[in-house]
Amino acid sequence: MTRQLGNQAFSQAEQFLKEVRLPENVQAIAQQGVAKTHEFYTKSAATAQESAKVLTEVAETAWGSTKMLNEKLVQNFTANIEASFVVAHAIAKAQSLPEALKLQTEFFQKLAAQTTEQTKEFFDLSTRATQHVFEQVQAGATKAMKPVA
């Protein structure tokens, strides 16, 4: 009996809701609310997409800079090791101890100068790469602050 009463109550309520007409101003407010919510969503989605694009560009720039700096380190390391082997072969062929010491001394002087130059160059590249990433972040932040049309 209770179940039948419940079904009857729901049927009556459902019938009542079908017959009730909302005032036009309520419909207009609801439609306006949906339109504004949809507009907000569209702008938010566009902003999120632009932010993701900017973040990707910054990450790609940072990765490119890291890759370039790593390649430079490997290039410098390889050049220094190869120079070490060249002088090692020359020292091994030296006819006397003074000649071997002279070759070794010249090598260390040359290596010190070369390492100093490599360090300066690496620091300059690193500074420029970091500046480039910061500029990209700043440009991306500026884009993100612009209102989406």
CA distances (Å), origin 20, targets 2, 14, 15, 16, 17: 27, 10, 9, 6, 5
- In tens, the pLDDT along 91-116 reads 999 999 999 999 999 999 999 999 99
End-to-end CA distance of the chain: 60
Secondary structure letter of residue 145 according to DSSP? H
pLDDT at 28 over 90: no
Q: What is the pLDDT of residue 22?
A: 67
- In tens, the pLDDT along 40-90 reads 998 888 888 888 888 899 999 999 999 999 999 999 999 999 999 999 999
What SS3 class is residue 1?
A: coil
Q: Do residues 54 and 144 touch, judged by C-beta distance below 8 A? A: yes
Q: Do residues 94 and 100 touch, judged by C-beta distance below 8 A? A: yes
Q: What is the CB neighbour count within 10 angstroms for residue 103?
A: 19
- Could you give the CA distance from residue 82 to residue 88 in angstroms, rounded to a whole number? 10
Per-residue pLDDT band for 144 (boundaries 50, 70, 90) equals low
